[in-house]
Amino acid sequence: MSDITSSAFIREDLVAERPAPVKTTGFIGLVRTRLFNSPTNILLTIVGALLLWFTIIPSVRFLVVDAVWSGKDRTACLAENTGSAVGACWPYIQAKLPQLIYGFYPEAERWRVDLTLVLAVVLLLPLLIPRLPAKGFNAGLFFFAFPVVAFFLLHGGGLGGFGLSWTAGLLQLFDDSIIGAGQAVLSLSKSSPIGPLLWVVGNLILLVGTAIYWLIYPLTWLRDQLQGTGQSVWTDFAITAVVVTLIAFFLGGGVRAGWRALASSIAAFVAVAIIIKLMGLDHGGLPIVQTNLWGGLLVTLVVSVTGIVTSLPIGIALALGRRSTIPLIRIFSIAFIEFWRGVPLITVLFFATYMLPLFLPGNFTVDGLVRALIGISLFTGAYQAENVRGGLAAIPRGQGEAAAALGLSWWKMTSLIVLPQALRHVIPNLVNSFISLFKDTSLVSIVALFDLLGSLRASFSDPKWSTPSTAFTGFAFAGIIYFMFCFGMSRYSLFVEHRLNAHRRN
């Protein structure tokens, strides 16, 4: 034992302790390595600190320290009355808050707006949390049932009929247009060099129109009979329910396998009946609030949610059309997408406001809000199409080929195999599009709709609250609201992206 310790190559005393290495973690380490490690960096740090000093401090002073928190009118927010520098004039926001949120929505009816918002949140939250089940059912509720309920809640009004009346009306409109075209061709044939040919074509079109008229005659006759009775909505509803359920039953597989389709169809119609009964849609519904009374955050949210809900199906259809091998459909999709992507949204809104009414029949007026919604849906749809196309391109060909080998039709292959994977790939891009849509809704204030920004701008002109700090206060308030929505969405998109790429991390 002892001769091992006395060996020449073994140290006899301990090495002296070396000083601890310079700390590179924690706050001190951060300061040392990332802020003051070289002369240039010290200079940059000082510049950055000065920059913050001259932006953060005045902002905080304006928003909190120097702010006026209570008062009745502009006198509370004037420097000569407070005796010191005046920051934000918060009583102005308090006074204008209802206008900034509801616009001129009647005070007695505002619970409807609140209820709609609560419904939206209750439906949206389970969609956004990935762990919760029943995404398909939930998405169906949010994308199909919620818009209809929200319309009757916000706008009010009731039903005049149901599926049967609508189908009959639509077919009649189509038939009228065909007969009109036939008559136009006939009148053209009198003054044209190829008159006889046009005469034949016109009469052929008229013949088709008349045939359709007699084909749909039972339907229109039934509708006219229903309108006469007192319970037209419920009778119409019952007929529609029976017809649709039977169709679902037989398409679903008849006596062999159609029971599931039958059950879900009945459940859906029962739910619709409950909603109709609850909201009293069969006898007029809630009092109507015209959309020119809507305003503030309500319009911003209505426009953005409608844009989100309608742009996605448009985008999916256009993306599938652009990848289709059928020439006409592909060319149409490409032209449509590139057209809307090539023009600014504001010209689209001008188009929807001034040009669209010219394209509709003279007796047919479209509400200003609906016009803007149409423009925004088409515009965002084109952008979503490019997002969805990116997702479709990311799906390996083998997926589609495997589905074809299993004997699935094109529709089943697309809806069951390709689209679910493609859409999941592009959720972050879709959410980013929603963010820009939400920001772009502020443009509707240019075509005389009072969204949050429009209401804010309108409130500046109120002489009761005109002070030097009014404009800054208003922009601070609206800015915080916009920032919360957009920042929240962008964080959510990052979260989803992180989750989707979980398998790529190591």
- 471 makes contact with another protein (CB under 8 A): yes
The interface mask with another protein, positions 279-318, x = CB under 8 A, is: ----------------------------------------
Is residue 162 exposed (0-12), middle (13-18) or buried (19+ Cβ within 10 Å)?
buried
How many residues at the interface with another protein, by CB under 8 A? 64
Q: Which of 165, 287, 164, 160 is nearest to 231 (CA)?
A: 160
SS3 of residue 104 by DSSP:
coil
Token digits of residue 41: 């960096």
Nearer of residues 82 and 324 to another protein, judged by Cβ:
324
Helices and strands (DSSP H and E) totals, the chain: 25, 0
Contacts to another protein from residues 204-263, by CB under 8 A: none
SS3 of residue 68 by DSSP:
strand
Question: What letter does residue 444 receive in the DSSP assignment?
Answer: G
Identified binder of another protein from the candidate list 143, 151, 269, 332, rule CB under 8 A: 332
- 327 makes contact with another protein (CB under 8 A): yes
Identified binder of another protein from the candidate list 360, 394, 416, 448, rule CB under 8 A: 360
Return d(Cα 183, Cα 199) in angstroms, integer: 10
Nearest approach, Cβ of residue 466 and another protein (Å) = 11
- 53 makes contact with another protein (CB under 8 A): no
- 26 makes contact with another protein (CB under 8 A): no
Is residue 53 exposed (0-12), middle (13-18) or buried (19+ Cβ within 10 Å)?
exposed
Stretch that binds another protein, among 87-95, 150-158, 279-287, 440-448 (CB under 8 A): 440-448
Which residues sit opposite 313 in a β-bridge?
none
Token digits of residue 463: 């002489």
Q: For residue 252, what are the CA distances in angstroms to 47, 68, 270?
A: 71, 66, 19
Identified binder of another protein from the candidate list 132, 207, 267, 355, rule CB under 8 A: 355
Stretch that binds another protein, among 75-83, 119-127, 348-356, 376-384 (CB under 8 A): 348-356
Q: Which of 162, 129, 134, 127 is nearest to 148 (CA)?
A: 162
Residue owning tokens 């009816």? 109
Identified binder of another protein from the candidate list 238, 262, 458, 486, rule CB under 8 A: 486
Identified binder of another protein from the candidate list 361, 396, 407, 463, rule CB under 8 A: 361
Nearest approach, Cβ of residue 347 and another protein (Å) = 5
Nearer of residues 5 and 325 to another protein, judged by Cβ:
325
Identified binder of another protein from the candidate list 23, 439, 464, 499, rule CB under 8 A: 439
Nearer of residues 294 and 477 to another protein, judged by Cβ:
477
Q: What is the DSSP string of 180-237?
A: HHHHHHHHHHTTSTTHHHHHHHHHHHHHHHHHHHHHSHHHHHHHHHHHHSTTHHHHHH
Q: Which of 46, 26, 25, 21 is nearest to 36 (CA)?
A: 46
- 180 makes contact with another protein (CB under 8 A): yes
Categorise residue 202: left if φ over 0, alpha if ψ from -120 to 50, beta otherwise. Answer: alpha
Nearest approach, Cβ of residue 364 and another protein (Å) = 9
- 407 makes contact with another protein (CB under 8 A): no
Angle CA(450)–CA(111)–CA(449) in degrees, nearest 5? 10
Nearest approach, Cβ of residue 287 and another protein (Å) = 32
SS3 of residue 129 by DSSP:
coil
Contacts of 261 (CB under 8 A, 6+ apart): 248, 249, 251, 252, 253
Identified binder of another protein from the candidate list 23, 24, 28, 51, rule CB under 8 A: 51
Nearer of residues 150 and 430 to another protein, judged by Cβ:
430
Nearest approach, Cβ of residue 269 and another protein (Å) = 30
Which residues sit opposite 296 in a β-bridge?
451
Return d(Cα 308, Cα 376) in angstroms, integer: 10
- 179 makes contact with another protein (CB under 8 A): no
- 44 makes contact with another protein (CB under 8 A): yes
Nearest approach, Cβ of residue 10 and another protein (Å) = 42
Stretch that binds another protein, among 86-94, 173-181, 252-260, 275-283 (CB under 8 A): 173-181
- 78 makes contact with another protein (CB under 8 A): no
Q: Which of 472, 500, 393, 485 is nearest to 437 (CA)?
A: 485
Identified binder of another protein from the candidate list 468, 498, 499, 501, rule CB under 8 A: 468
Nearest approach, Cβ of residue 362 and another protein (Å) = 6
Identified binder of another protein from the candidate list 445, 459, 467, 493, rule CB under 8 A: 445
- 386 makes contact with another protein (CB under 8 A): no
CB 286 within 8 A of CB 154: no
Rg (CA), the chain: 32
Nearest approach, Cβ of residue 135 and another protein (Å) = 27
The 10 Å CB-count burial string (b at 16+, else e) for 308-338 is bbbbbebbbebbbbbbeeeeebeeebeebbe
- 501 makes contact with another protein (CB under 8 A): no
Return d(Cα 256, Cα 492) in angstroms, integer: 45
- 446 makes contact with another protein (CB under 8 A): yes
For another protein, the binding residues (CB under 8 A) are 30, 34-35, 41, 44-45, 47-49, 51-52, 177, 180-181, 184, 324-330, 332, 338-339, 341-347, 350-351, 354-355, 357-362, 435, 439-443, 445-446, 453, 457, 460, 468, 471-472, 475, 478-479, 482-483, 486-487, 490
